[in-house]
Structure 1
Amino acid sequence: MRGPTDAPRGRRRIALAALGVYGAGLLLVVLWPQHVDRDIVPLIERVHEWFPPVTHARVEFAANVLLFVPPAALLAALLRRRRWLVAPIGVAASGLIELAQDALLPGRTADLRDVLANGTGAVLGLLLALVLDWRRARRLRRAPGYDLAGARRA
């Protein structure tokens, strides 16, 4: 028989596994010897000709924001009571990535704008996790026969 804590433990395992897989992919992207977007630059330039607001700098910034949303949301789900740590962890991880790229990868360039974008993504990931938790709690409050912990009332 399942108890009220089984589901959160299961979700925690899934979040941890997803964070590990995403983290491995993220490391592959950030430690790739050359810029990973070099093949898409011609497409961005063609789009820019037709729609000038689309620039390489804006696409790169948006991509860096989006890159950190999923791991931040997953980390927020794991940290629960210490979620506030997600933003500083995201900024610190991004700073370390940029330092590693600068020191170890001659084909890559370190950029403070990447740290800003990644930090923004970390904050957005945290906000996403908070909204999802709020919606879940709201749904549970409205469900007949369930308390906030998700356990069936006697």
Structure 2
Amino acid sequence: MVVNRKWPWSCLVAYVIFLGAVGLWVSAVDAPVSGTLSRLLVWGEGHGFGFVRYAHVEAAANLLLFVPLGFLIVLVARPRSWPWAALAGFLVSLSIELAQLGLSARTTQLRDVVFNTAGALVGALAASAWVHQSRSAHQRATRPAKRSLILTGRHSVQGRSTE
């Protein structure tokens, strides 16, 4: 299967720019939705979801934010490059967290790096599985069909009858 790597490269560059914008935003990224999120968490507490806290939502958001990064890196590179995609996720996340040290409204947390890296790993493994599955399906579809033997009461060996 021939993989066109032009669109993944474009998406990867755009996504890294997006991550940089989100990571280096001057104020907290969740500030516009903090009131809604707080009300949702309070509602969940009263409806059997009291175990869900802000830290859980933040961790899930950090993980999900980096899934596309890992996915796109594997598409740009090779399916077996998932460890490099996870490392890239770690380095991008670490860079963002270090840059946030200079932003007074942002906080730097090791937990963010861990969940961002995990997200890149999940995305990379998903892309590796998807590419492998796609290639296997393509190979099955393009493989010549095996000749089936029609049994007519005789034993057949490579097209010759034996009696």
Task: Give the aligned partner of residue 150 of structure 1.
Answer: none
Q: Is the 8 A contact 1:16 1:78 kept in 2?
A: yes
| TM-score between the two structures when normalised by the length of structure 2 | 0.78
Aligned partner letter, 1:66: L
1:108-154 residue CA offsets vs partner (Å, 9 max, x unmatched): 110001001101101101111111112202211321457xxxxxxxx
| Alignment of structure 1 residues 5-154 onto 2, 5 Å | 7-8=2-3, 11-51=4-44, 52-80=50-78, 82-102=81-101, 104-145=102-143
Aligned partner letter, 1:53: F
CA RMSD of aligned residues (A): 1.7
Percent of residue pairs bearing the same amino acid type: 36
Q: Which has the larger radius of gyration?
A: 2
1:26-63 residue CA offsets vs partner (Å, 9 max, x unmatched): 11111111101012122222121221233221111111
| TM-score between the two structures when normalised by the length of structure 1 | 0.82
- Name whichever structure is richer in helix by fraction: 1
Q: Is the 8 A contact 2:82 2:121 kept in 1?
A: no
The structure 1 segments of at least 4 consecutive aligned residues displaced by more than 3 Å after TM superposition are none
Aligned partner letter, 1:88: L
Unaligned stretches of 5+ residues in structure 2:
45-49, 145-163
